[in-house]
Amino acid sequence: MSDEKQPLSSLPTLERDFADIIMHRSNTDKQGIQSNIIAQRATYKVNDGSLLYIVEYIDKHDKSKVDHFFYDWYRQDGTVRMKFHSETHGEDKRYQTSTEPYHIHKDTEDILSNIDRYPNYNLRDLRSVLEFIRWHLYICEAEDHLRTNDKKYKKKKK
């Protein structure tokens, strides 16, 4: 995948394309800050009750491009599910992954820890993150369905 900067996300287009999982958009990020000349900010409420906080910092030289992003996915109970980030960590190798500046944080609140950073080879724009979330939700739904049916089957067998 190219390191070329991605265009700013078209939120209305994404809301149309992911209407099956996006239930609502708030025009602020997790801190309640609205979009401005520095960053595009929003929050999507997902159909499982989770929230995706979106911050795309606008490139200083090309206002149509994303300089770096923070896509933070939280569970309904307010705990971190995953974070997809692209901020650079400069020359400090302790905080870099093999896909620097792209990395993923697992479900933890730890900050600036290599322990919870993973390389991110593919989820480098909001569309791909939403695609990932969609399939994650569908797989979880299918597994829940299988578990429910398996319990019903075992009861009938007795």
Every domain of the chain and the residues it spans: 11-157
Q: How confident is the model at residue 1 (pLDDT cuts 50, 70, 90)?
A: very low
Report pLDDT digits (tens) over 127-156: 999 999 999 999 999 998 888 887 665 666
pLDDT for 77 equals 96
> What's the Cα-to-Cα distance from 137 to each of 14, 40, 49, 50, 143, rounded to whole Å?
17, 26, 11, 11, 10
User: Would you state the structure tokens that stand for residue 144, as one six-digit string?
Assistant: 């829940």
What is the pLDDT, as a whole number, of residue 152?
62
Write down the residue that tokens 């990020």 correspond to.
Answer: 29
Average pLDDT over residues 19-26: 98
Dist CA 11 CA 29 (whole Å): 14
Specify the pLDDT at position 114: 54
Report pTM: 0.87
| Mean pLDDT, residues 28-42 taken together | 98
